[in-house]
């Protein structure tokens, strides 16, 4: 049984759907943050699948830049969330509206 691009696209759609449902249902900011990362990785799988199918390097280049932006997001976002969760262990997204300036 050969694995084609369709398998990767179905996997990507499933991962993106799980991330979207988790983002809409959960109220914990850390879980929401992980769901956003899951959605970004699903898009990366799609980029690589189309890049391989079209024999083009542009999709892989886009994945590189998405990973760089995601790494910067993790550094800044995760440090903010950890600092906030140390102050309040039961943090909710509704509590983050207090951060407005």
Show the 3-state SS of 10-27: HHHHHHHHHHHHHHHHCC
> Are 66 and 45 a contacting pair, CB within 8 Å?
no
Spell out the CATH class of 5-92: mainly alpha
pLDDT tens digits for 69-98? 888 888 888 888 888 778 877 777 776 666
17-68 pLDDT tens trace: 999 999 999 888 888 888 999 999 999 999 999 999 999 999 999 999 999 9
CA 89 to chain centre: 23
The encoded tokens of residue 33 equal 């943050």
């Amino acid at each position: 049984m050969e694995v084609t691009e369709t398998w990767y696209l179905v996997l990507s759609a499933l991962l993106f759907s799980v991330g979207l449902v988790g983002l809409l249902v959960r109220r914990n900011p850390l879980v929401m943050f992980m769901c956003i990362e899951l959605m970004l990785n699903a898009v990366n799988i799609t980029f690589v699948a189309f890049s391989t199918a079209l024999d083009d390097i542009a999709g892989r280049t886009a994945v590189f830049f998405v990973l760089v932006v995601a790494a910067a997001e993790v550094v800044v976002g995760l440090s903010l969330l950890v600092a906030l969760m140390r102050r309040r262990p039961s943090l909710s997204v509704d509590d983050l509206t207090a951060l407005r300036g």
